[in-house]
């Protein structure tokens, strides 16, 4: 697994990265209030969905090594005509912007991008899946995709904690509560974040 710094070198972005672009929806204050207790003792986090790296940078700032799983093609809500802040305009260079942002913030050696869908990631052989203390779910927000990500995270080989963002979105909330009910797991939530309590 290569670090984002190695990826920057491969892409020619180590010496000449794109300008820093802080675009995303991750709220640092809400994260401080809701997520910090989940990170106690954690060293490695797998984040499903990274966009331009706002959440990635926050997790690194908390002392984590971050495995970022994303295909960097955008979710359905980011496509042209979906009405999400013209997000589609950044898609052609989204991955390069993510890597450049990490280089600009000098955290690229702490991040390990895995450029693939979450479905592909959870389908990897166990020998290719990194150990993690927490899986953070914030990728595709459709009900089906969130449910699939949650099931993949709960069945992950090293049994990490599982949490995510955007609990207020109907599809996310439905997937979280249904899987929790199916598996007899309690759900905690606050400040738009959610987590399983065990």
pLDDT in tens, 80-121: 555 555 665 677 889 999 999 999 999 999 999 999 999 999
Q: Which CATH class is domain 4-197?
A: alpha beta
Domain boundaries, the chain: 4-197
Instruction: Give the per-residue pLDDT at 90.
Output: 72
In angstroms, rounded to a whole number, what is the distance separating the alpha carbons of residues 180 and 196? 8
pLDDT band (50, 70, 90) for residue 189: very high
What is the structure's pLDDT at 91? Answer: 76
At residue 165, does pLDDT exceed 70?
Answer: yes
pTM to 2 decimal places:
0.91
CA 121 vs CA 29, 41, 46, 57: distances in Å: 29, 24, 11, 21
> Cα(63)–Cα(53) distance, rounded to whole angstroms?
15
Q: At what angle do helices 170-183 and 143-154 cross, to 10 degrees?
A: 40
What's the chain's average pLDDT?
Answer: 90
pLDDT band at 25 (very low <50, low <70, confident <90, very high): low
103 with 13: CB under 8 angstroms? yes
Grade residue 23 by pLDDT with cuts at 50, 70 and 90: low
The residue-averaged pLDDT of 155-162 equals 96
């Amino acid at each position: 697994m290569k670090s984002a710094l190695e990826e920057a070198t491969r892409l020619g972005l180590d010496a000449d990265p794109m300008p820093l672009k802080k675009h995303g929806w991750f709220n640092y204050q809400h994260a401080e209030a809701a997520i910090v207790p989940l990170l106690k003792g954690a060293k490695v986090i797998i984040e499903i969905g990274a966009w331009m790296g706002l959440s990635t940078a926050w997790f690194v700032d908390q002392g984590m090594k971050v495995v970022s799983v994303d295909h960097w093609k955008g979710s359905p809500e980011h496509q042209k005509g979906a009405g999400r802040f013209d997000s589609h305009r950044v898609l052609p260079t989204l991955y390069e912007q993510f890597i450049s942002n990490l280089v600009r913030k000098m955290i690229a050696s702490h991040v390990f991008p895995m450029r693939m869908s979450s479905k592909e990631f959870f389908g990897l052989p166990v020998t290719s899946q990194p150990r993690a203390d927490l899986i953070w779910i914030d990728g595709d927000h459709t009900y089906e995709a969130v449910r699939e990500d949650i099931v993949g995270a709960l069945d992950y080989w090293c049994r990490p904690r599982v949490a995510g963002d955007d609990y207020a979105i109907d599809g996310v909330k439905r997937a979280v509560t249904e899987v929790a009910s199916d598996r007899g797991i309690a759900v905690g939530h606050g400040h738009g974040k959610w987590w399983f309590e065990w």
